[in-house]
Structure formats: C-alpha cells, structure tokens
C-alpha cells in the first residue's frame, strides 16, 4: 500500500503516526511484550491510587486542568484591550503560552498533532501583535503568509471576525446580523432562544446586544498583512439559490441588515433591556455565566456597552470570575506562563475520581471518598434553570459540570455523580438516598421524545439554528447522544430501575444507534472508542447479556482497532474523515475506555484485554501517573476539542481496578 497524506502532512490511518503504533487485525502477530502478571497490575493500581489521592483538594474535590486552544488566550487579551484593562504582565505571560503552541510552519492547531486552523492562527497572531511581536519577525511572517494562502481574514469564522470588528479590523456590515428582538420570539416559535443549546444560548443573547450597537474601539495597529488584498478585504460571495435553506437564510440575513438601519426605536430599546435583564438574571454566584468562558466574555462586553462601568458589581464580579479561568505556571527559564481554561470541571472530575478509586479497591468508607461525597452532595442543584422551559413541572435535582452553574445542570454529570455516590459508604445514608431519588426523578423527566437524553435540555433538536449564517462554528443545538444516554441507562440500572419502561426505551434507542461497524458515536469524547466505551458497560448493567449480537459486534470492532502496542487511540479527524475512525496513537484514556467496554462484555481473559492492561502498566510513570498530550475530550465535534488533564489518571485506574476486582455492582445485577 502506498502511503499518502491528508493534506496536513499527517500520515494516514493504519500508518504509524508521529512514531506511534498502527492497528492490526484480531489475532495478528505483534511485537507486544508478554502480558504482565497480576502483581504488576496490582502495583500499577496502587501507585495510581496513591497519585490520585494526593491530588484531592482538602474540601473533597478533584480538578485537572482543562486545556483547549489558543483562541481562549487570544480572546482574553482582546477583551482586556477592548475594556482598557490589559496589563503587561498578563499579556507577556499569555504570549508565552501562545508562542509555545505555534507549529513549525508558523500556524496554530486546535488540538495536539492536529492540522493548522485558520481562525485560531489569525486570533493567535493578533494576540501576539498586542504583546509587541513585530509583524516582520520570522514566526509572524510565517503565520501571516499562511493566513493569506488560506483566504485571509475573510475566510475566518464569524466569531473571529466579530472580535476583529470590535477594533475596526472588519466591517460590522459584513457580518451576519442577529437582532436583540429575537428575545421576543415565543418559545414555540422556530428560532427562539431556547431552540439553541445552553452554551450557544448564553453566547448569542449578549451578542445580540453587541451586534445591535456595533462598537468600534481604536485599533492599536493595522492588519493589512492578513488580507489577500487589503484594498478589497471582503469580496462578496454569491448567494445560494433561494430554493435552498442556505439561500433562504442568507436572504433573511439581508433583510435583518436592512432592519438594522431602520429599527423600530422603542422595540429595539426594549429588546436591548430585555437581553440585559436576561443576562444579569443568569449570572452565577461566582460572577460567571454558565461556568464557561465564552458567554462570560460576551456578557461583560454587552453590559459594558449598555453603560455598566467596570466597577459595577455585575461587571466587577464577571471580570473576577474570568481571572479564575487562568492557570499560571513557569516555563523552562522560570518566566510566568498563563493559559486560559474554557471552563473548569470539578464536579465531573470528582465523580470520575471517586468511581476510579472505589473500583480500584479503596474502601467505600475511606475518608477521601466520604469527603468527595459530602462535597458532591452539597453541589446538587435544587432550583430550576433554563431546562424548566421545556419541563416546567419537573422538580430539580441535577448536578452541573463546574463549581457554580446552577442555571445549567447537565444530565451527564448527574448520572455519573449518582454512580459515584452509590460506591461510597456515607455516614448519613439517608441523605445520599434523598439526593439519588431527586437525581433519578430529574433525569428521567429530562428524557427526550425519542427515548434518549441530551446533555442539558430535553428535545433540543430544532434544525434551524445551525442554518443561521451567524452559526458557522460548532454545534448550537443539544440533541440526544449515545454517550449521555448510556450513562443515564447505567445510572438507572444501578438505582434499581432496570425494568422501568423509560430505561427500556433508552436501551432500545442505544441499540438502534449502533453503527454498522459495531461502534457507537461519541459526542462528548473522542470518538467511537468513547461512545463504545460508554455504551457497552451501560447495556450490560441494564441486563443485556454479553452474548447479545450488539455486544459481540462491538467487541469485534474493538479488537479490530486495537493497536499493536496493546493500546487504543482515535484521532479527532474521525469526526470528519471516516478513515480515521478508531485509529490513532494509543492514549491512556482511550485505552481505558476500550478496556471498560471489553471487561463489561466478559472479555477479561481475552488477549485484547491482557494486552491492553499490559499497555497501561508499561506506560505508567513511576509516580503513578500517565502522560497524555492528545486531546480526547470534545466540546464540539472537530470544532472545539479538549484535553482533560485528569482523564489520563481516572480512566486507566478505573480500568485496572475492574480488571482486578470485577465489574461494580455485579452481585446486584445477578440478583436482579
């Protein structure tokens, strides 16, 4: 076979990537070392337990860094420039991080070993210009030349051009229009704000204010070098045919631009005030919005434009919350480096760490597990949020992902927290049972019409938001996914609801979603390895026998895509290119997901499991940790990728623990 590339310089699937392993068919001869004995697995598990215990906060939670890409850092500097609060220390530290992520060709990617990405490169370049990097410096000329080759600023996504428009580097007239009057569309009307997923909703509402006011602050320099032709920076593109959805929405956007020139004054002012009130009502106790950085950034800008000065309590708290997204460290020369997290994941990390430790044999009444349970119990959300728009009669009872995000609990965290709490022998079991009952009631009530579960809302499946010219980046709706549904099914099974009709509907949906290959798509993790690693344990916990055809097809697929080194990996390009499905350099987290699926399917003594376990023991560091530069988490498939720094610890430990001690709740399943 002749090796080819995908245009990014990356080697194709099946060919060693960056010196890493390739895949081999089941039963093929490999150069893997002989399987390790139980003693080696026990030693690796003990080291991993000790390492994870040392990382627990005294208050009971765990939190690993959440790494995304340099657009977070660039936009943070642009925000500070816009507000007039950018300082040299912060700028220099952010610039060091941005430079550290630049590729040899002068570009920036959005995930480790990924291809160059235009919008990320433009935003990083502008941030470095703010930091004082000269446009004729070699690393800057390489970046600007590549940007021009790709079509210049005109080819970037809408969000990048919005940031540039704030400083006059792009014309507001050449951006899609999104008027604040959208606030008044009824909840049953297509394209009302609740048709958007929670993350998009929180971003779009403040952007309607920005779009209406079209501010321009003085630019500190020009960006002609990022245009293919500075005299014509935005060549007009032809409209799609009017008979197509794209053509219809393009013409709608032209009509909205006309309305922007001649708005109904009283209606526009009322809409701006309504949008501002909506934003302020959703500010969390810690000052942030939704616990994630992008809505907070745009909310601060929007309210500032409406006259809220930086000393106003709302804006002061908002800016302070953004500072908490900063992770500081030192580079090899001792200089400060600053990375911005898109959000923080303490609830998610804590429930996963609790599961990992319990499954690894840590006693259920261990003080660390009890502290974790106490903290998680205190984090349960007992008031309604935006989810109640579609479920107004449903009592609350979920958990969010972050420290403070009471408006937006999510179904995935709720299911995993419940599974974690079931593993802890808490001194107040009645308190735990009350929390679990609330969680089960809320989660069941959030089931969508098709029997599955999305992440934040029920039936958030409108086809229209993704059609808007404004929404050219990432997912803006929240349809049900296999991984979230699987976690809910597993939770309901463990809580004794295996035979509940709603659980059975979830199982039927999962069985119907299985790909022809035997795998399941991973919405919130990369990708089919994650989906399959989520679904198989859930199906078995819910009573599907290991001999079921769906289980056997999934097992066969996992065996087929195992790498010769015994591990599993899947590149983020699998979201766009089917040739990458199940293929990539072995990583600790993805190896663990495959092992969790195989162990649930009764494959403990199979060659695939033994080799996978050996891979984890072989690649563990002396301190009990694992290294994982690859991004295995997903914000938006392909568009926004995440490296959860705790994944490399919790999932391998869970897999080793289940290999040693068997499946959790196995006795209850047998009795059921």
Strand partners, 338: 328
- What is the C-alpha to C-alpha distance for residues 520 and 99, in angstroms, rounded to an integer? 37
Q: Which regions of 12-166 does DSSP assign to beta strands (E)?
A: 66-67
d(CA 76, CA 97): 13
Give the CA distances from residue 109 to residues 71, 112, 225, 301, 319, in Å, rounded to whole numbers and listed in that order: 10, 7, 20, 27, 28
Task: Identify whether 6 is a catalytic site residue.
Answer: no
* Half-sphere exposure at residue 375, Cβ-oriented, CA atoms within 13 angstroms: 27
Q: Provide the sign of the torsion angle of the four alpha carbons 248, 253, 259, 261, taken in this order.
A: negative
Taking the alpha carbons of 194, 343, 596, 542 in that order, is the dihedral positive or negative? negative
- CB count within 10 Å of CB 4 equals 9
Q: How many degrees, rounded to 5, is the angle at CA 336 between CA 330 and CA 342?
A: 90
- Radius of gyration for the chain, computed over Cα atoms and rounded to the nearest angstrom: 25
The helix or strand, by DSSP H or E, that contains position 339, with its residue range, turns out to be: strand 336-340
Q: What does the block give as tokens for 67?
A: 């790494």
Tokens of 200: 């998009």
| Nearest-angstrom CA–CA distance, 273 and 267 | 10
Question: Distance (Å, rounded) from C-alpha 15 to C-alpha 54?
Answer: 39
Measure CA 489 to chain center.
21
3 state DSSP class of 261: helix
- Which of 484, 575, 579 lies closest to 531, judged by CA? 484
Residue 186 is inside which H or E element, if any?
none
Joined together, the tokens standing for residue 459 give 């039936």
Identify the residue whose tokens are 């971003």. Answer: 203
CB 145 within 8 A of CB 125: no
Q: What is the rounded (10 degree) CA torsion for 430, 435, 439, 441?
A: 50
Q: Which residues pair with 328 in a beta bridge?
A: 338
Cα–Cα distance for residue pair 48/62, rounded to 1 Å: 15
Nearest to 275 by CA among 299, 292, 253: 299
Give the DSSP letter of residue 635: E
Query: What CA–CA distance (Å, rounded) separates 406 from 288?
Result: 11
The DSSP result for 583-612, as a single string, is: -SS--HHHHHHHHHHHHHTT-TTSHHHHHH
302 φ/ψ angles, rounded to the nearest 5 degrees: -60, -50
Q: Which of 412, 413, 565, 571 is catalytic?
A: 412
Distinct helix (H) and strand (E) counts, the chain = 23, 5
Contacts 24+ apart (CB under 8 A), 200-203: 200/465, 200/471, 200/474, 200/475, 200/476, 200/477, 201/386, 202/282, 202/289, 202/290, 202/292, 202/295, 202/299, 203/294, 203/295, 203/298
Place of tokens 């005109």: 154
Question: What are the residues whose beta carbons fall under 8 Å from the beta carbon of 534, sequence distance 6 or more?
Answer: 482, 483, 486, 487, 520, 522, 525, 593
> Is there a contact between 514 and 623 (Cβ–Cβ < 8 Å)?
no
CA distances from 39 to 363, 488, 620 (A): 20, 35, 15
Active site residues: 412
């Amino acid at each position: 076979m002749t090796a080819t590339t995908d245009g990014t310089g990356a080697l194709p699937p099946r060919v060693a990537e960056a010196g890493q392993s390739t895949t081999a068919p089941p039963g093929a001869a490999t150069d893997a070392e002989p399987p390790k004995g139980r003693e080696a697995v026990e030693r690796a598990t003990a080291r991993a337990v000790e390492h994870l215990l040392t990382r627990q906060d005294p208050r009971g939670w765990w939190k690993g860094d959440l790494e995304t890409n340099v657009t977070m850092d660039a936009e943070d500097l642009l925000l500070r420039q816009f507000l007039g609060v950018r300082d040299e220390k912060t700028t220099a530290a952010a610039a060091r991080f941005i430079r550290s992520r630049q590729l040899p060709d002068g570009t920036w990617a959005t995930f480790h070993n990924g291809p160059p990405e235009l919008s990320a490169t433009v935003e990083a370049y502008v941030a470095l210009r703010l930091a004082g990097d000269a446009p004729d410096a070699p690393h800057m000329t390489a970046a600007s030349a590549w940007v021009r080759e790709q079509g210049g600023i005109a080819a970037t996504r809408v969000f990048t051009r919005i940031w540039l428009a704030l400083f006059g580097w792009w014309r507001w007239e050449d951006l899609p229009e999104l008027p604040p009057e959208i606030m008044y569309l009824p909840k049953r009307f297509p394209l009302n704000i609740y048709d958007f997923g929670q993350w998009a909703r929180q971003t779009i509402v403040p952007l309607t204010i920005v779009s209406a006011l079209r501010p321009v602050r003085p630019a500190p320099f020009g960006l002609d070098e990022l245009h293919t032709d500075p005299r014509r920076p935005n060549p007009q593109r032809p409209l799609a045919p009017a008979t197509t959805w794209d053509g219809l929405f393009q013409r709608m956007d032209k009509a909205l631009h006309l309305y922007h020139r001649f708005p109904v004054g009283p209606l526009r002012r009322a809409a701006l005030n309504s949008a501002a009130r909506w934003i302020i009502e959703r500010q969390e106790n810690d000052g942030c919005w939704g616990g994630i950085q992008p809505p907070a950034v745009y909310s601060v800008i929007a309210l500032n434009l409406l006259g809220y000065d930086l000393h106003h309590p709302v804006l002061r708290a908002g800016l302070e919350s953004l500072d908490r997204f900063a992770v500081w460290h030192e580079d090899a020369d001792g200089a400060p480096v600053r990375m911005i997290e898109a959000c923080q994941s303490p609830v998610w990390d804590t429930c996963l760490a609790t599961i990992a430790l319990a499954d690894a044999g840590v006693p259920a009444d261990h003080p660390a597990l009890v502290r974790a349970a106490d903290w998680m119990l205190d984090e349960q959300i007992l008031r309604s949020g935006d989810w109640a728009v579609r479920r107004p009669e449903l009592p609350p009872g979920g958990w969010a992902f972050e420290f403070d995000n009471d408006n937006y609990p999510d179904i995935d965290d709720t299911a995993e927290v419940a599974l974690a709490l079931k593993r802890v022998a808490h001194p107040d079991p009645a308190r735990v049972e009350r929390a679990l009952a609330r969680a089960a009631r809320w989660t069941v009530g959030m089931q969508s019409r098709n029997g599955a579960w999305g992440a934040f809302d029920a039936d958030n499946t409108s086809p229209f938001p993704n059609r808007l010219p404004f929404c050219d980046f990432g997912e803006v709706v929240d349809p049900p996914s296999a991984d979230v549904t699987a976690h809910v099914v597993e939770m309901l099974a463990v809580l004794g609801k295996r035979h509940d009709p709603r659980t059975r509907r979830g199982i039927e949906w999962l069985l119907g979603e299985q790909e022809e290959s035997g795998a399941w798509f991973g919405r919130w993790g990369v990708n089919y390895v994650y989906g399959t690693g989520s679904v198989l344990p859930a199906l078995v916990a819910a009573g599907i026998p290991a001999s079921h055809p769906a289980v056997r097809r999934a097992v066969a697929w996992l065996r087929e895509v195992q790498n010769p080194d015994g591990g599993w990996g899947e590149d983020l390009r699998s979201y766009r290119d089917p040739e990458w499905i199940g293929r990539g350099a072995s990583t600790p987290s993805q190896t663990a997901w495959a092992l969790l699926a195989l162990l649930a399917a009764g494959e403990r003594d199979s060659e695939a499991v033994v080799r996978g376990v050996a891979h984890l023991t072989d690649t563990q560091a002396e301190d009990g940790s694992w290294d994982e530069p690859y991004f295995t988490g997903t914000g938006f498939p392909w568009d926004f990728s995440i490296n959860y720094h705790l994944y490399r610890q919790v999932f391998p430990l869970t897999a080793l623990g289940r290999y040693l001690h068997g499946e959790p709740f196995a006795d209850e399943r047998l009795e059921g």
